[in-house]
Homo-oligomer: A and B are copies of this chain.
């Protein structure tokens, strides 16, 4: 007897909605892609109201995307940011997006990362993080964002990750509100 292999596959609509290598020159365009992924994810009922995208900073070329796939993959770690990181590393064939080749990469997330995803950012070798909705906006619809360090923005800065908050926050928060209005599943691990 053996252990199963875990497969993380993006829904088929994702590559059509966000073709790889398209260029997103402005911070708002990049964030609106993450927000659009979050919105389509709830409309297609493929997961929770969260989207993320990773860009190469020199060109603002789209390297990878992620959406929340916790329920559809039965995988509690399949948050949008984690999926985007894993897909990017798989595409680039290396375990860190930092240093090698001199390229640097930025993650746009439709909502500020939870404690797990925050912890994942330095390991991933990211150089920047842009956030739409705030953690408290996710908290307002019932999600528990976990125990983040009080000064998480400064903690990331110390590890070389520059954080920009509140990019298109109202548009991002509207997706969260829509999710609740539709009666979407609010899962919080041990209390579910």
Q: Of residues 57 to 93 in A, which have CB atoms within 8 Å of B's CB atoms?
A: 64-65, 70-71, 73-77, 82-83, 85-87, 89-91, 93
Asked whether A192 is an interface residue with its Cβ less than 8 Å from the other chain, the reply is yes
Q: How many copies does the complex hold?
A: 2
A20 contacts which of B2, B71, B190 (Cβ < 8 Å)? B2
Asked whether A172 is an interface residue with its Cβ less than 8 Å from the other chain, the reply is no
Tell me if A21 and B1 are in contact (CB < 8 A). yes
Tell me if A119 and B122 are in contact (CB < 8 A). no
Tell me if A189 and B147 are in contact (CB < 8 A). no
Asked whether A167 is an interface residue with its Cβ less than 8 Å from the other chain, the reply is no
Give the contact-size bracket for chain A: 35 or more
Q: How far is the CB of A138 from chain B (nearest CB, A)?
A: 13
- Given A2-B15, A115-B118, A147-B152, A96 and B161 touching (CB < 8 A)? no
17 A-B pairs with CB atoms under 8 Å apart are A1-B20, A3-B10, A3-B14, A6-B87, A75-B90, A75-B95, A76-B123, A77-B85, A77-B124, A96-B189, A114-B123, A115-B119, A116-B120, A119-B146, A123-B189, A144-B159, A160-B191
Q: How far is the CB of A34 from chain B (nearest CB, A)?
A: 15
